[in-house]
């Protein structure tokens, strides 16, 4: 089992002077320490308009900085918001390949459709988001492995263009899909890519069922000679609290869980405000004990 770190650059209030620079500096320090301690991968998210929940609106820049400060830990760009109004597939391929060279071949690339609030922010229709994410999964590896690239659809028209650079890893960096719903887990399996399961609100039993759906879908599309990546990942919350003062620890727990549940649900579950829990839910720390609607 490999243990990775998934970073949103959360920025909870109250905000001191220079709070944004402070948060970026802290994230870099954490990634450097994770590299020294032997963690597997540092995953940097992409979110827009997320408030306290995330300052990570330009993850490719953060990962480029980390590529020069770390030497062993893999650098996960996940999940890139795949619809074209967020990121054109050509730019996704170019940026990830450049980062692969800067990091010495340590890139992992994840793609996702994004969330309802971000679709609204960028004026994206849900049906377009699904179709363009599918296209991105098809287009990006082809751009990495073809000398010249062509593609035509309702969304994109590319006619016989040389896309570069090509990534350092061969045939290309590992691909992943961020997923929360059963259908998305199955999609990732059918595509033969790794799945980054947004399962921090799910019980162990439900998370196990989702991973089972993913593995079954991956087995169903396997063909001899075809590279299928069966790699499930599950996101968990792990608290690190300093000191042993009961009152202070309890207050920090409530604050941390409230931030993750309130703003996390707002970003990931469609923009409906959910009241944060006043105390840690039963099973806090592993995602068990609270059931959330499938998304």
List Cα–Cα distances, 15 to 8, 29, 258, 278, in angstroms: 17, 19, 17, 22
Residues 176, 59: Cα–Cα separation, whole Å: 16
User: In the predicted model, what is the mean pLDDT of the chain?
Assistant: 83
Q: How many CB atoms lie within 10 A of CB 232?
A: 21
pLDDT computed for residue 226 by the predictor: 43
pLDDT at 77: 92
Render pLDDT for 202-243 as a digit per residue (tens, 0 to 9): 888 999 999 999 999 998 876 533 444 556 655 555 555 455
Per-residue pLDDT tens for 241-251?
455 455 555 55
CATH class of 5-173: alpha beta
| pLDDT of the residue at 149 | 98
Count Cβ atoms below 10 Å from residue 193 Cβ, excluding itself: 23
Q: Where are the domains of the chain?
A: 5-173
* Owner of token pair 């009961």: 246
pLDDT of residue 232: 63
* Average of per-residue pLDDT across 20-39: 98
Q: Mean pLDDT highest for which of 49-53, 265-269, 275-279?
A: 49-53
Q: Out of 36-40, 134-138, 203-207, 241-245, pick the least confident.
A: 241-245
Q: For the chain, what is the radius of gyration of the CA atoms?
A: 19
Helix pair 89-102, 59-67: axis angle to 10 deg: 20
């Amino acid at each position: 089992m490999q243990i990775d770190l998934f970073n949103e650059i959360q920025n909870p209030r109250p905000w001191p002077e220079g709070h944004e620079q402070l948060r970026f500096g802290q994230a870099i320090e954490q990634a450097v320490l994770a590299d020294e301690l032997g963690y597997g991968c540092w995953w940097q998210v992409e979110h827009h308009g997320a408030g306290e929940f995330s300052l990570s609106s330009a993850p490719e820049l953060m990962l480029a900085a980390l590529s020069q400060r770390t030497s062993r830990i893999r650098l996960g760009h996940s999940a890139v918001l795949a619809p074209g109004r967020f990121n054109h597939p050509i730019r996704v391929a170019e940026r990830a390949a450049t980062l692969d060279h800067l990091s010495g071949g340590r890139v992992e690339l994840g793609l996702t459709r994004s969330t309802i609030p971000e679709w609204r922010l960028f004026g994206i229709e849900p049906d377009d988001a699904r179709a363009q994410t599918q296209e991105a999964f098809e287009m990006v590896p082809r751009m990495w492995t073809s000398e010249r690239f062509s593609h035509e659809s309702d969304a994109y028209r590319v006619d016989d263009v040389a896309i570069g650079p090509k990534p350092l890893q061969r045939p290309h960096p590992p691909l992943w899909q961020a997923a929360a719903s059963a259908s998305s887990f199955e999609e990732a399996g059918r595509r033969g890519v790794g799945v980054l399961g947004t399962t921090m609100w799910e019980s162990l039993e439900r998370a196990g069922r989702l991973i089972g759906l993913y593995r079954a879908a991956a087995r169903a599309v396997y063909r001899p000679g075809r590279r299928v990546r069966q790699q499930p990942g599950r996101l968990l919350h792990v608290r690190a609290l300093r000191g042993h003062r009961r009152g202070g620890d309890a207050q920090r727990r409530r604050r941390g869980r409230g931030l993750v549940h309130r703003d996390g649900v707002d970003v990931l579950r469609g923009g409906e405000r959910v009241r944060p829990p006043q105390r840690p839910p039963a099973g806090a720390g592993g995602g068990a004990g609270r059931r959330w609607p499938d998304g």
